[in-house]
Structures are given as C-alpha cells and as structure tokens.
Structure 1
C-alpha cells in the first residue's frame, strides 16, 4: 500500500474549479476532522443508504479491528492513522461497493503496518476479505536493489491480484485518491514523484476501467502538485473565460432544452466546464495557447433509451451545424473501457465549437463509475459492458505474466496497454476489434490468438496482401495468413505496439536463444578460466553452487546462458570461481589480451550496440560492453565506479552518484575501472543555470556555450518565481576541464545568478 502519512485534508483542485462552473461528477469525501470522537460516522452515513443494518454492523467490526491495530500510529499531520482507511472506505461507499470491499478498505494497511497475518484476517473476516487485503498490500518483506525495481514489483503484484478480483484495483485507486487529496505537508520532491506516478499509472488505470470520476480528480490533483504555477495560471484563465462566456453557455443550454421540449422529448440537459488538466493536455498535444482553445464547455443530454439518443442527435444537428469529421458513435462501438455515448461537435451561435454528448441513464452511470457500476445494479439486464471489457483486459495482463520477464518489463508492457488511442478494425467474420493507434497486422494477429501471431507470415487488409508491419486504420478488414513452420522474428519488436505482442515475441526469442546462449556461455567461461590457469573440469560443484547464489541464478544452465547473452561476464565469473588463495591479479593482467577474443563471441545484438557507439576508453572493462550511466553522466576526469548490470554490461557511474548507494554493498558486482588517459570524444553532461527572466537570455547563454566549443543537445526551462528562470542544458564536453571552462564562462554573465552541474 502507498503509505503517505501526510497532512490535513485539503480540498482537491477539481472541487475548487467546480465551485462556480461545475466540472461534472467528482467524488467528494465528507470532511473527517481529527477532533471527531467517532471517525467512522461519515462512513456509516454512506453505508446506511444501500446496506442493511447487519452489514453496516459487520463493517463497523472491521473498523474497530483496524482502529485497534493503528491505535498508536499517526499521519504526518498529527491526525490518527485510522482516518486514512476510513476515508478510503468512504470513497468506495460513494460508489456503493459491496460489504467485503468496504471491509477490505478499512483493513487494507493492517498486514503491512500492524503485523497482522493474512491467515488471521481470513479467520476473523473470511477468505474473500483476506485475499483483497493481501492483493493491495506492498511487498514489505522483500528487498530490492532500486526504488524502481521495488515499485515495478509492487505494481506487478497488484495487477495479478486484480486479475483474480477486480475489486483490488478499486481499493488501490481509492487509497491513491485520498493520499493525493492529503499531500499538503509532503516535501515538494515527494509530491512531484507521487504525482508523476499518479499521472503515469493510476489515472490511466482509472480511465482503462472507465471510472471517470476518480480519473478526473486524480489528474487534477496530480497536475496541481506537479506543476502548481501552471495549474494556478490556467485556473485563473479559465475563471476569466468563464465570466466572458457565461452568456453563451446559458443561451446554448436554453436553446437545446427548448427544442427538445417542442419535439416532445424528456431529457436532462446540463453544461459542464472542461477540467483544467484536460485543457492543459490539449494545449500540450496540439501546441496551442490558451486563447486558441475555444471548446472550454461541453453539454450532456441524458435520455430514456438508445432510440431517443439518435433522435436527439438529428434534432441537435438541425439546430446547430455539425463540424465534419467530429462525430463519434460510441454506442454502436463502445470504447475499450465500456464507455458509451454519442459525441458530436457543433458550430455554436458565436462561431465557437461546442461539444455535445448524448447518452442514456445507464450509460451515464457506467461513464462515471465504469467497472464499479457493476455493484450499483440490483437487477439483471443492465449494461455490464464495462465489467466485461475490464475483465478481458485483466485476462490479457494474466497472459503477460505467464510470458515471463522481470517486473520492470511487465510494468512497461502494462503501460503500453494503458494508453490506447484506439482504432476499430474487423475480422474476416465481421467481429469488431479495438486496437491501439499505430498497431500493425502482427498486433492484430496476437490479439486474435497467440498461436496466430506466432505463425503469421503475411496479412490481407481490405482484401489486399500487405506486409505484416502494415499499420491498421479505422474500418479496415484484416485477415492474417499463417504457416505451421513460421515463427516470430526479432525484427517484429521494432514495430509492434501492444503489450501482448511484445511479450509473446520476447518470450519466444528467449526460449529459442537459451540453448544457443548456454553453449556459447560454456565456451566463453572455458576460455576465461584457461587464461587464469584453470579449466572447467577443475571447478567443483561447491564452487558452482557458491557462484549461483552470488549471481542470483537458479542453475548452472541459467548461469551459462546469462554469460552467453552478455548479461554476466565470463571474466568476472571465472575470477569468482577460483579458490580464495588464487592470484586474482592475473584477471586484470590478462583482460586486455582476452578482450578481442571475447568480443568475437559476444551476441550480435550486443556487438551492434557497441559498434554503434563511440569507443569508450575505460580501463578495466576490456572485452565487456560498457554503458555510461544517464543519471550522473560521467565524463573523463570524474572519479568513477563500474557495476555489472544485466543486459547493459558494465554501467559506469561517478563516485558520488546517489543511485549507487545500495550497489556499494554488492562487491560481487563491482568492476575496478578508470578513465584511460587517452580517452577522447564528446560526452553529454547536464548543467543547470539560474538566470534572470528577460528577453534574449537563453540566446545569450547558448551563444557562450557554443563559443566554448560545446554543442547543446537538450534544453528544459522551468520558471521559478517570475524574476528568475531555471534552465537545464544537456551539453557535449570533452572532459572535466572543458566543463569547468564553460561553467566559468557562464558565471561571468551578469544575468546569471547560479551555474551548477546536475547529477540525478
């Protein structure tokens, strides 16, 4: 679970924007003040609306159990920690989730924070609640080398728990929403990190599951914490525009209501202001200034049935002229999260575009609550498309898990699935399939079935033979040609975009390469041992067992395969296999002599990567692939350390890089390295310049950098307080002395107040 023992409850930006103009449905937690004698009172008030007295009492039992476990724990604001699980349960009670979900929400931190076992929970509250709590809990007992690895593994566990019970992610989203609402006392750095994670993972999950209300508030809160000045400026601009366009909004709404009334159609017509983040996202995506964004308002028409939706569409099109190409029928072809509506954009009375959404009451509930709407329905025949779509997505996640790969690879695949700008295509039998925009015929083949993808050799789009890498467009009719002898090709990874296709191709290649890599690894290790005066026959089983634990591989076969694939280096393994009394110094002496021989046996993939880069003259890495760490960007003259990293070879960091703190404990991964005195070339490095906010400053600084013989690769500008601006440059330098000259030159400029090198 995300523990953010943070500050007092603050109102969300979504609520603040909604005070005057209205932003649609946003979940609002009844305020829970630290001074309340009974923190459970707001939850009970919500539960009595839809649960019976016996179920409300069982929810209170879970509250009492959680309160006893958290009795000595407090949030950073000083309020009792129990307020957090109660708030999470309140958010879920707003969605009218079932009793088991409410109990699990109240108990969601007790396994992690209160030393309560899953078995004890199952005995007290039942196996279903215990499974939900366990699915939401973090892997607190497992140690990881980096924050990223730990976070990826936590997400992996959550997604797999979701595939067993979708309520896990509903609890997780509610937990993140309350944490985002109460981040006021966190440090700025932590707020930014958590907000970025929210925008990258949690808000897209909410959208993927169709939970519009939670998604909107997560985006608004994350945006306000990540870019507070941009959020404030944009909010003020929207407030000003709201006053200028109020008359237009009222006029359009009245016209719609009057015309529908004349036609005898009962409908709810409401205008809503678009959200701050959605406007910002549109400005970023299309490169527009705020003054060029005219569709700040949208109108929603809710009617009784589907037939009336289409009648209303015709009536509205006769009232205002529709803009060509801006009509979308999500009723006939629902979105992948189950969302259904008719969308049309009209030319309003003052020449500005106006968006109108038309839907039924059932569609509206699904649009706001998504998969959670399943628990709102008490009778059959309801639109459960959102739940069907969500379970189909979770089933795909389960298939990704079976494909293998580490946690970060799994999370990368999930992210690919979280941002589907979709196209709709047809199978030969007329079935509609939604694919991400940019998907190829190979992605389509794997979406139909894994075996189809594995055996694909060609494709027909609209009855025309095309290459497998051909991209799909809306309305295409796609047929895949297969052959029993065919198999996935490595080149497919260059163009497939769906997580399932990428994971399936990777899994096949890993399986096929393992035996070849093992043979190659045995040969490389034998050569390395021979150079040290030993051989494979002289290595005993006990030595190999010691090495297997050291390199965290399960078997000798896996170790040899890792050597063959360039993930573990034969010289290092040979060195570790030698008895403790052996002269380890010979490894360094013979490394240079072996470098050329070893490189001949490296996999072609690694050789291509190495030859594509400029030679990195770093002593101590002969015969090994070398990568300069992007976090600290070492340059000649910097004190450096080398660490073995799977798939990257030797990763070189500066001595003071914060990312290597944990690695310093893993001496088995160290490689003694130093810059070769003859090292030449250009190396990227980051510097941050704080300068006055004035016209021409950026050009002046760039000129000085250029005159000092450096090239600028990237510039990132972040306004400070209106008077000063922080500018981060990525520049190319020859060595540490070259960098020092550039920094001295920039400090001489009168408009520059500070220049520093950035690491991390």
Structure 2
C-alpha cells in the first residue's frame, strides 16, 4: 500500500496536537530494534499514544511486530526517500491516537508485510495468531498480474467482505489511506487525481458510515486540496484572514462556562475550529461569514442527563435558534454518532453553534467503531478466538441466529454494534455482482447516499434503506430475489404503487403473488435506488428477454389495467359471425358460465356482454340486434370483483391471501379511502379456470369483515 513523499501544501488538521516528525521516525527506524528490555525508539510514540487509551496494554506484542516489520521492509524506501517502515509506523500511530486496541495496532504494523515482502500469511498466523492474520489478509491487495484492471474493485470487495466479519480491517485501511494522502505530493498529478477521486467516492463515505470523523475530516481536506485547488486556496486564505475569529468564540465560551458553573453543572467548554471543507460548505450556505462561523463550541459532560441540563441552561440564558436544534442522543445517527446540536445568540448578536455530548459520546464521535474495540472478545481477554470464525478465517459474527444479516440475534438483541444495516445490505448485494465494473459502480452509488431511513415491516421488523428508496427497494431488501413476485404494496395501511418513495418511519407491507409466476417490469429500474434491487432486476430481465408473463407483469395504474382487461381478446368466445374478432366488454367482464349476448361493433368486431348488463338493455332499446354467442374453451379468464367490507387491520392481507390460495393472480387492485368505516376493494384478477370463480367469491365473502363480493359494473358509452 505504497504511500508517497510528504506534501508540504497539504493541510494539517490535527489542531492542538503536533504532527509526529516522520523523518525523525525514519532515522530511528534505521537504528534497528532496541534492546531486549525496551521498545525501539521508533515505536515509542506509538506506545505512548496506546498507553494513553489502554494503560494496562501489553506492549511486548507490538515490539515483536515492529521487529518483524522493520526487518522485512529493510532496504525498501518510499518515493520520498524515507525508509518504508515509516509508513506502517505512521498508520499505527494514527490508530493508536484514536484508541485502537493492541491487536489492531499489531496488524497495522504488519499490514504491508505479506503484500510487499517475503513474509507469508502462515508465518503471521504462527507468530501472531488468527486474528492478526485475518486483519493483515483483509487489507492485502490483490495482484494486478492476476486481476488486471479488476484488481482495485476486487481488492475493495475483498476488504468489505472481511470488514463484515471484523470491522477492524476497514479501520486499518482508512488509516493507511490517510497517511498515503498526507504524502501524495511526489506522485504524478494524474495519479494524485485518480487516488483522490477513489478516496472521495469510497473511503470518505466509509469513514462517515463507520463514524470515524477524525479520519473523515482530514481526508476531506486532503481531497479538497487536490481536486479543487482554487477553492482550497480561497478557503485557506479566508481562514488566514480571520485568524482572530477564535476570539469571538472564546468570549462566548467563557460566558457559557460561567452559566454552567453557576448552575452547578461540571462541564468542559472547548472551541473547535472548523476544518477546511466545513468552512467552504458554510461559506456556500451563508455567503459572507462572521467570526463565529469559523468554529463551534463543544461542551463535554459526564452523564447523558447532564447534556439536557446544559441544553436547558443555554436556552434559558441565551437566545436559542430553535431551527438549529437536533437531538442525536435520543435518535443516534446510523453511524453511532450521538450529540445535542443547538445554536445560541449572545447579547451582542453573535451566534455560536454548540455541540453537547458526554466524554464517551465524544470518543465515539471522533473514532467511531475504532473506539468500540473488538465486540466479540470473550472473558478470556481481547486476544481470544473471534466468536463464530471457522476455518479459513471466515466468520458469521453479526449474522445472528438464523443467518440474519442485520446485526441482530433472533430475539432482536443487537450482537454487533459495528455491523450496521448499510454494511449488511452491501455485503448481500455484492454477492450478486460478479462483474467488477458492476460492483465498482454500484458501490460508489450506494456510498453516495448520505442519509439512511428506517421503515417498519408489517411483521414487526425494520428495514434500513437509503433516503429516496421506494417500495421496490423495500421488497428486495426484505425478500431478496423472491421480490420478483411483488405485485403491490401497502404503505401506512393504504395501497400504494411500487414506485412510491418511502420516508423515515413508514410502515410497508409487500404483496407477493403466491404462484411464483411473476417477474419484474423494466420500469422497476426507474424506481430502484439500491444496488441490491437494481442488480436483481437487471439479472432477471437479462434472463427473461421476453418479459414477464401476463399475470406477473408490473402493476400498471389500477384503472388503466382494469380497462385493458375489458378489451382483451377472447379466444374462448364462439359467435354467429365467423372470422370476427371477439372481445369481452369492460363494463361487465363476462366469464364462463355467465349467460352472455353479443353485438357487432364498428370495424367488424364483436363485443360480448353478460345478459343482465345495463348496456345490453340500452342497445336493445336502440334497435341493435344481438348475435348468438356461446362459451367455447372455459380456460383462464380475467374478471373484476368488488369486495365491500368494514375496515379493520389486516383485511387487505387476508383478502389477497384468499385470492392467492384460489390460484388467481392480481392484475390490479384499488382500495378506496374508508367512508363511515366501510371500505371498497376492487380487484382485477386472472383466473386459471373460470369454473373456480364462484368458489373464489364465496371464499372472499367468508373473510372477516367482508359483507359482499360482486362482479364489477363499469359505466360504458353506447356502442
């Protein structure tokens, strides 16, 4: 994972914490390992940062890993001229500062040995155990000689699959990319651009989703400098011109400290400068910036309750901007982030944004999943065998009982806080994308979604979906490829088109055809936002170029589908007018064994009506002569039924179950809004045998709450 020479123009975002001198580390590394009783000088900074978070950590394993890494990389140099060992050292220091546990740091020191030296995975496993071996293997790139142009997307696929079993794999990759981005200056401009774009499209969104804000913000600034140099320079100059902006925030911070001290709330109040990209975004949003726009106040307290106590004091003693208030404690973000956000105005009108959180919330906000350590450690300690990992290092952790991929056990208890819904979805759909190009483009599209919604399933479960997802996406998220048979949906209790976009908190019930003969329509692709849905639909359409069978066609607008049903050709009608095309009237939708009559219409066609159809009476009154007609082959037919019922929960599900049990396919359905507690359901159905219609109608009448089922009568113009 080659990094490059330092880039003197790159922004340094660790304000208040001096950057370790990589050149000094390089000189220390050249001195070789230290004495047997102490750590080498080159790794002492890592040890110091590690002990700050883990005072009782055993550093012997780190010394052992450094000795192997230094000796195996000896003689290798980066393009900057630095000894190569400075790169794994720097990556490990980044992780140590964020609080990573010992196993992660051990693997970080060794993360390039298998890729770039003669060290083998078996050697790593023998000397450091299965966990370290798994992490090193997870971040080892695939060879271009074997994969060609597919090496990069397939490497990311491999890392993501490994991350699904152990999130520490991606932690190491993110730190690796951060150091490489810091030292990208000696690369050719075109290569800098390519690496920066992959960082923007893949690594930064992953850092955001894993909650590692400390890495995400610095990566954003480094990418900003490479891809938008003019805007970056403008922002840098703006920050330089407002170097005294911190004074305005410092004054408000002191007032806040006074208010909280008088209220008896122990708290630490800090001024946090915005990073480059954040300043750029605020400038685009607000235009001219005020001094207080260049940073925010951070209030750190001990307990959750103290957060709300601080909020109450601020809103009492200052003028709050209510529109800026957000409670991410009661409703945490999908990436584990928790905090209260507000904004207050001081007496002089200066407005300051304020973040309120506990120390633990702050640790997670900065380091995300890295702060959680290893969630599968047993009582024997953090180096114990990973739960559920079988031969070959693969694991089923986070799947829960029954193989669920949502990070919950069968009883609903979360077993893996580091495997959120978006990661489970990603791991599921990537298996359906064997083509590297499809995987790569789908991955970028998935990660481009910067917000997630939660919708409730009718069976009581939940689905995590990207913002803008439709019922089509929900169907594939819940049922996988069985969603091909989806014929409709009910959102918040009302029948809805599959194209309906879902919003946070919706309840969705998906209706599937029971005969399994359904298939998606090409226009489903217009409504699918998730890669899982798009890949599954695209694959089915490629395998069925002829399209879905009539019963399985994607639901059209309900009234249009019903009208079309009435105009279908009727290959089983036999009339006294040989050679004439025959169609069933849409006004009464006759089916065998109905008593029918027919009339000739313009164009030499014949329309068949039920005897009791009002249209027959009108046409007889106009002097139109009926034709003799009889039923021939009484095979499958289409009919429209109206069910009158009293509204109750589960009624639609019960009716559709009865219809499916009878072997009928729902072509279209309309559920009218309740009127005086009564509901009218209109179904256009495809029956495999017309003789089964009376049985079906009786079964529908037997559904609790249904008091009548009748054949539809549609008004029709005079023929």
Query: Displacement of 1:414 after TM fit?
Result: 2.4
CA gap 1:265/1:433 in 2 versus in 1, 3 angstroms: farther
Matched, 1:456 2:456: no
Mapped partners of 1:246, 1:125: distance in 2: 47
Show the counterpart of 2:603.
none
- CA shift at 1:228, angstroms? 3.2
Is 1:118 aligned with 2:116? no
Closer, same or farther in 2 for the Cα pair 1:161/1:420, shift >3 Å?
same
Q: Which residue matches 1:438?
A: 468
Question: Cα distance 1:161–1:511, how it changes in 2: closer, same or farther (>3 A)?
Answer: farther
- Alignment partner of 2:343 out of 331, 342, 345: 345
Please, which of 294, 297, 306 is the counterpart of residue 296 of structure 1? 294
In 1: Cα distance, 2:57 partner to 2:262 partner:
49
Structure 1 partner of 2:248? 248
For residues 142-173 of structure 1, give each alpha carbon's deviation from its aligned partner in whole angstroms, at most 9, with x where no partner exists: 44454xx3321221121112122211111111
Q: Select the residue among 349, 363, 366 that pairs with 1:365.
A: 363
- Partner Cα distance (2:352, 2:511) in 1: 45
Alpha-carbon separation, structure 1, partners of 2:51 and 2:315: 44
Say whether 1:399 aligns with 2:423: no
2:309 corresponding residue in structure 1: 311
- The 3-state SS of whatever aligns with 1:504 is helix
1:13 matched to 2:42? The reply is no
The answer to whether 1:202 aligns with 2:198 is no
CA distance in 2, matches of 1:474, 1:265: 35
Q: Distance in 1 between matches of 2:545 and 2:533?
A: 18
Matched, 1:497 2:529: yes
* Corresponding position of 1:712: none
* Distance change >3 Å, CA 407–CA 498, structure 1 → 2: same
Q: In 1, Cα distance between the equivalents of 2:209 and 2:371? A: 14
After superposition, the C-alpha distances for 1:111-158 in whole angstroms (9 at most, x for unaligned) are: 221133222322232232222112111111544454xx3321221121
Q: Name the residue aligned to 2:445.
A: 416
The equivalent of 1:40 in structure 2 is 43
Partner in structure 2 of residue 604 of structure 1: none
Cα distance in structure 2, aligned partners of 1:345 and 1:456: 46
Asked if 1:178 corresponds to 2:179, the answer is: yes
CA contact (8 A) 1:253 1:271 kept: yes
Distance in 1 (alpha carbons) for counterparts of 2:280 and 2:202 = 19
Flag the 1:376–1:472 CA change in 2: closer, same or farther, 3 A: same
Mean alpha-carbon deviation: is it higher for 458-467 or for 55-64?
Answer: 458-467
Aligned to 1:260: 260
In the alignment, what sits opposite 1:326?
A: 324
For residue 741 of structure 1, what is the aligned residue in structure 2?
A: none
Tell me what 1:3 maps to. Answer: 2
Q: Is the 8 A contact 2:167 2:418 kept in 1?
A: no
CA displacement at 1:8 relative to structure 2: 4.2
Cα distance in 2 between the residues matched to 1:312 and 1:461: 40
Q: Does structure 1 conserve the Cα–Cα contact (< 8 Å) formed by 2:22 and 2:86? A: no
Tell whether the 8 Å contact from 2:23 to 2:82 is kept in structure 1 after alignment. no
- Displacement of 1:266 in angstroms is 1.6
Taking the aligned partners of 1:394 and 1:366, their CA distance within structure 2 comes to 18
* Separation in structure 1 between the aligned mates of residue 460 and residue 222 of structure 2, nearest angstrom: 42
Relative to structure 1, the CA distance from residue 199 to residue 83 in structure 2 (aligned partners, 3 Å threshold; closer, same or farther) is same
**Cα distance change, pair 320–389 in 1 and its aligned pair in 2 (3 A):** farther
1:703-714 correspondence to structure 2 within 5 Å: none
| Structure 2 counterpart SS, 1:190 | helix
The residue matched to 2:173 in structure 1 has which SS? helix
Partners of 1:515 and 1:474 in 2: CA distance: 33
Q: Secondary structure at the match of 1:300?
A: strand
Task: Report the equivalent of 1:109.
Answer: 112
Q: State the secondary structure of the residue aligned to 2:434.
A: coil
Deviates more, 1:248-257 or 1:432-441: 432-441
Q: Which residue of 2 aligns with 1:739?
A: none
* 1:73-88 to 2 correspondences below 5 Å: 73-88=76-91
Contact preservation (8 Å) 1:370, 1:387:
no
Counting only pairs closer than 5 Å after superposition, residues 77-226 of structure 1 correspond to structure 2 as 77-140=80-143, 142-146=145-149, 149-226=150-227
Contact 2:143 2:151 in 1 (8 A): no
1:238 equivalent in structure 2: 239
Give the TM-score taking structure 1 as reference length: 0.60
Kindly report the root-mean-square deviation, in angstroms, between the aligned alpha carbons of the 2 structures: 3.3
- Partners of 2:264 and 2:57 in 1: CA distance: 46
Question: Using the alignment, how far apart are the partners of 2:338 and 2:296 within structure 1?
Answer: 16
Equivalent pair of 1:111/1:137 in contact (CA under 8 Å):
yes
After superposition, the Cα gap between the structure-2 partners of 1:342 and 1:53, relative to the gap in structure 1 and judged at 3 Å, is closer
Q: In 1, Cα distance between the equivalents of 2:170 and 2:350? A: 40
Normalized against structure 2, the TM-score is what?
Answer: 0.63
**Correspondence list, 1:590-669, <5 A:** none
Structure (1 or 2) with the larger CA radius of gyration: 2
Distance 2:350 2:51 in 1: 46
Paired residues of 1:27 and 1:214 also in contact (CA < 8 A): no
Which SS does the other structure have where 1:343 is aligned?
strand
Instruction: Give distance in 2, aligned partners of 1:187 and 1:256.
Output: 49
Residue 424 of structure 1 and its aligned partner are, at CA, apart by 4.6
How many equivalent residue pairs? Answer: 499
Deviations 1:287-313 (A, max 9, x none): x64548973322222222222322322
Structure 1 unaligned regions, length at least 5 = 20-25, 517-760
CA distance in 2 between counterparts of 1:205 and 1:254 reads 37
